[in-house]
Structure 1
Amino acid sequence: MIELEELIEEHGVVGAQLAVLAEGEITDVAAGVLNADTRAPVTVDSLFQIASITKVWTATLVQELVNEGRLDLDRPVCEVLPGFRPVVTARQLLTHTSGIDGDLFHDTGAGDDAVEKFVARLAEAEQVSPPGAVWSYCNSGYAVLGRIVEVLRGKPFNTVIQERLATPLGLTVATTYAEARHAAAGHVDGRPVTDPGPESDWPAGSALAMSARDLLAFARMHLATPGFAVMREPQVPVPDFGFRASWGLGWELPGYSGGPVIGHRGSNQGLASFLRIASERGVAVALLTTGGAADEVFDAVIENVFSGLAGVRRPEPPVPPAAPEPVDGRFLGTYRCSGHEVVVTQADHGRVLVDLDGDAREYVALREDALIAVDEPHTVLVLVNDLMHFGRAAVRV
């Protein structure tokens, strides 16, 4: 097992858990503290919010309904949620192709009706692209999926999580902020963050907390359940950011060589979570962190633990061409979606200046449809059907 204590100290991470599944057994370690103020140590039993990895749990609850014949992924959602618009399907929600503006976080209060109230507010949401046309990461769509689960099960989303997944697996899982009050605090610039975000975002990733070991117990169950295998099948391509990725039913399918890999990641108020599974090898890693350069720790885990055990490799990240072509003028303009703005203006020597949410950097042409940042990190932006795509699709205004 990797020297986690040294690794998180090197990268300024406040606390972390790492769990590894291999040959059917889970091994885990912990390092650092849960809160920089209280200095309570991280143990292997500590809880961390898993943020957007919650989406895989939500997708699993949806797939159970499909397996029982209670939900058709390709029928309009309004057949389950009367009055819901736009006309999208559950499959499009699962695969982030609904076209709904994705980062709406309406605070609809606490309580069992928070998700219901949030979904009602989506009547005001903009449609970034036609349903089924473009992959664009969409938190809002997973709130709708959570509401479908509530309606068809007749119970609040958090209750269904406990009854259908956590309790049968014997997992210690917190599904509300009150339950997770002893979980790791998020940290920004080394200090604890106290704002948890709206409870209406539960199905997309705002509250679910557990240990890395319990997250891998969930992953192990997934691999052993034939009815969930369909969730690992590619459904839609992700725009080409240089990683050959596609998306399944809830799962990210990054383009590794050596065998199929699935996973997800999450981030929430100074917390970061990572899950990677080599599905044919039965190997998985879960890394849960608070504060610091968590991506650097994850990179080390992938290179030194996951890839070695599973015999798989990530694609090499893209880098700027040695002699890039001048950037085509069709990239220039202002693009917006909920919570994000991208402004592309001409710079010298055939480059452009890209201001993404206030962070201005120079970019060059990577391909005729893509830009890449000159300096590290080499972020890639893709022009898709006149949408500027950076993980979310932004509309030219």
Structure 2
Amino acid sequence: MIDLAELIEEHGVVGAQLAVLTDGEIADVAAGELNAGTRAPVTTDSLFQIASITKVWTATLVQELANEGRLDLDRPARDILPDFRPVITPRQLLTHTSGIDGDLFHDTGSGDDAVERFVARLADAPQISPPGELWSYCNSGFTVLGRIVEVLRGKPFNTVLKERLAVPLGLTVATTYAEGAAVHAAVGHVDGQPVTDPGPESDWPAGSALAMSARDLLAFARMHLATPAFAIMREPQVSLPDFGYRSRWGLGWELHDYSGGLVVGHNGGNKGLSAYLRVAPERGVAIALVASGGRAQAVFDDVVANLFSELAGVRRAALPVPPADPEPVDVERVTGTYRCAGHEVVVTQAGHGRVLVRLDGDEREFVRLRDDALIAVEKPHTVLVLMNGLLHFGRAAVRI
């Protein structure tokens, strides 16, 4: 096992857990602190929010309903939710191709009716592209899926998640902020300081609050590998825009660009918290990393390069880098302001054939990667894809 304490110290991470699944067995290690204020230590039993990895749990509850014949993934969602007006299907919601603007966050409380009230506010949600046409990461869509689960099971989403997944697997989870606080779950850290306002939690099915240990996250992944009825979730449904690597999406899972065998997984990020899950189904190998603060992505990259790849016999594709002598950017084509829910991208001309991109307040220079793509000059080398009046950075933003 990697020396996690040394690794998180190198990258300024406050606390973390790492778990590894091989030969059906899970090994785990913990390091650092749950809260820089209290200095409470992280143990292997501590709980960390898994953020958007929750979407794989939501997708699993949806797939159960499909396997039981209670839900047709290709019928309109409004068959189940008559007040939901967009004509989109559960499959499109699972694959982020519904066209709904992705980051519509509403605070509808923390009661059992929070998801129902949240989805009611999405009844007339704007669509940035026709259903099924374009992959664009969509938090809002998974809250709609959570409401479908509620209606068909007749219980609140968090109750269903516990009854159908956590309890049968013997896992310890917190599904709300209050539950997390009661067990002293890890708090997020920004610039080394504890996060005191994590934001609203009402979109539980998308990943606002679910917390567990890295070990229990891998127990969930192990269940997936042992359940033939869930294998369909790992089949490719849609290709992502060309961000310089080949990636596809299944039903809830991302299918990552690795050589040597299939790798599925998901990342998660809440304010000051990070989570990563990778599974090599053909090898029965998986890793989970949960962390608070610092440069968690660098820790994960080290784990993938020096542990996961070795155990699973796979290699992650090389990430794109800027050309040594890039052609000038077509500034007339790309400059302007682009918007989607929760995000604004402003592209202006810079010197030497470059453009300056301001995304959510962060300004960086980009150069031409391809005719339809820009790449950041400095690390991380973010790739932005241009398509039909949209600027795609994981979310598709519309030029205004």
Could you say which TM-score interval applies, normalised by the shorter chain? over 0.9
Does 2:300 correspond to 1:298? yes
Moved over 6 A (4+): none
| Distance in 1 separating the partners of 2:122 and 2:244 | 32
Q: 307, 310, 318: which one pairs with 2:309?
A: 307
Structure 1 residue 7 displacement after superposition:
0.3
Q: Tell me how far 1:124 sits from its aligned partner.
A: 4.1
- Where does residue 119 of structure 2 map in the other structure? 119
Q: Is the 8 A contact 2:84 2:124 kept in 1?
A: no
Whole-Å Cα distance in 1 between the matches of residues 139 and 375 of structure 2? 25
Give the aligned partner of residue 220 of structure 2.
218
- Aligned partner of residue 195 in structure 1, secondary structure: coil
Structure 2 residue 167 is the aligned partner of structure 1 residue 167: yes
> C-alpha separation between the residues in 1 aligned to 2:248 and 2:216?
26
What is the match of residue 2 of structure 1? 2
Secondary structure in structure 2 of the residue aligned to 1:180: helix
- Greater Cα shift, 371-380 or 344-353: 344-353
Letter in structure 1 aligned against 2:367: V
The residue type paired with residue 382 of structure 1 is: V
Q: Which deviates the most, 237-246 or 14-23?
A: 237-246
Task: Report the AA paired with residue 283 of structure 1.
Answer: V
Aligned length: 397
- Taking the aligned partners of 1:82 and 1:192, their CA distance within structure 2 comes to 42
Task: Supply the AA of the counterpart residue of 2:260.
Answer: G
Indicate the SS of the match to 1:123: coil
Aligned to 1:376: 379
SS in 2 for 1:172: coil
Distance 2:216 2:284 in 1: 16
- What is the aligned-residue identity percentage? 79
CA–CA separation in structure 1 for the residues paired with 2:327 and 2:358 = 21
Check if 1:345 corresponds to 2:348: yes
Q: Tell me the secondary structure at the aligned position of residue 122 of structure 2.
A: helix
Counterparts of 1:98-113 in structure 2, within 5 Å, are 98-113=98-113
Shift of 1:362: 1.2
Q: Secondary structure at the match of 2:304?
A: helix
Question: What is the CA–CA distance in structure 2 between the aligned matches of 1:275 and 1:160, rounded to whole Å?
Answer: 23
Structure 2 spans left out of the alignment, 5+ residues: none
How big is each residue's C-alpha offset from its partner over 1:157-182, in whole Å with a ceiling of 9 and x where there is no partner?
Answer: 00000100001001111112111111
Deviation at 1:355, TM superposition (A): 1.2
Q: 1:310-349 CA distances to partner (integer Å, 9 max, x unpaired)?
A: 0101111101111211112311211000111111122222
Deviation at residue 282 of structure 1 after TM alignment:
0.4
Distance 2:266 2:217 in 1: 12
Give TM-score scaled by structure 1 length: 0.99
- AA of the residue aligned to 2:27: T
In the alignment, which residue of structure 2 is the partner of 1:275? 277
Q: Could you tell me which residue of structure 2 aligns to residue 29 of structure 1?
A: 29
- Tell me, in whole angstroms, the C-alpha distance in 1 between the residues paired with 2:65 and 2:199: 28
Q: Give the drift of 1:97.
A: 0.5
Q: What is the Cα deviation at residue 194 of structure 1?
A: 2.0
| Secondary structure of the corresponding residue to residue 137 of structure 1 | coil
Looking at structure 1, the residues matched to 207 and 296 of structure 2 have their Cα atoms a distance apart, in angstroms, of 18
* Matched ranges for 1:32-47 at <5 A: 32-47=32-47
Partners of 1:135 and 1:384 lie apart in 2 by: 12
Cα distance in 2 for residues equivalent to 1:110 and 1:30: 30
- Residue matched to 2:286: 284
Runs of 5+ in structure 1 lacking a partner? Answer: none
**Partner deviation per Cα, 1:58-90 (whole Å, 9 max, x = no partner):** 000000000000000000000000020211000
The worse-fitting range, judged by mean Cα deviation, of 37-46 and 347-356 is 347-356
Q: Which residue of 1 aligns with 2:188?
A: 186
Q: Which moved more, 1:277-286 or 1:174-183?
A: 174-183
Letter in 2 for 1:18: L
SS in 1 for 2:97: coil
More displaced 10-residue stretch of structure 1: 287-296 or 382-391: 382-391
Q: Is this contact kept in 1: 2:85–2:124, CA < 8 A?
A: no
What is the distance in 2 between the residues matched to 1:47 and 1:59?
A: 22
